Amino acid sequence: MKSDVKAKVKRRIPVEAEFQDTDGVLIHIPLHVIDGKVNEFEIYKEDGSPIIESPDPSRLKVVCLD
């Protein structure tokens, strides 16, 4: 879906989701916004080890950074 509406955010990463992997290490999913548009999101584990479990949307904790 394409839109000309821009998000009014104060920083490049206005929101991030996180959840614990099965080994207890946090996985982060920051959303990157550039010029009011979603540019990318990334998924990484705090300790850099391989992700064991795929993100389950029902387990995500969303943190608003704006």
Which helix or strand (DSSP H or E) is residue 11 part of?
A: none
- At 25, is the pLDDT very low, low, confident or very high (cuts 50, 70, 90)? very high
User: Is 31 within a domain?
Assistant: yes
* pLDDT tops 80 at residue 1: no
User: Is 41 within a domain?
Assistant: yes
Give tens-digit pLDDT for 26-61: 999 999 999 999 899 899 999 999 999 988 889 899
User: Is 43 within a domain?
Assistant: yes
Per the structure, the count of domains in the chain is: 1
* pLDDT tops 80 at residue 66: no
User: Is 7 within a domain?
Assistant: no
pLDDT value of residue 59? 87
Q: How many whole angstroms separate alpha carbon 8 and alpha carbon 13?
A: 12
User: Is 29 within a domain?
Assistant: yes
User: Is 3 within a domain?
Assistant: no
Q: How many whole angstroms separate alpha carbon 24 and alpha carbon 49?
A: 12
Residue 4 CA from chain centroid, whole number: 22
pLDDT value of residue 2? 77
Domain of 51 in residue numbering reads as 15-64
29 token code pair: 């999913």
User: Is 40 within a domain?
Assistant: yes
Cβ neighbours of residue 53 under 8 Å, at least 6 residues apart? 21, 22
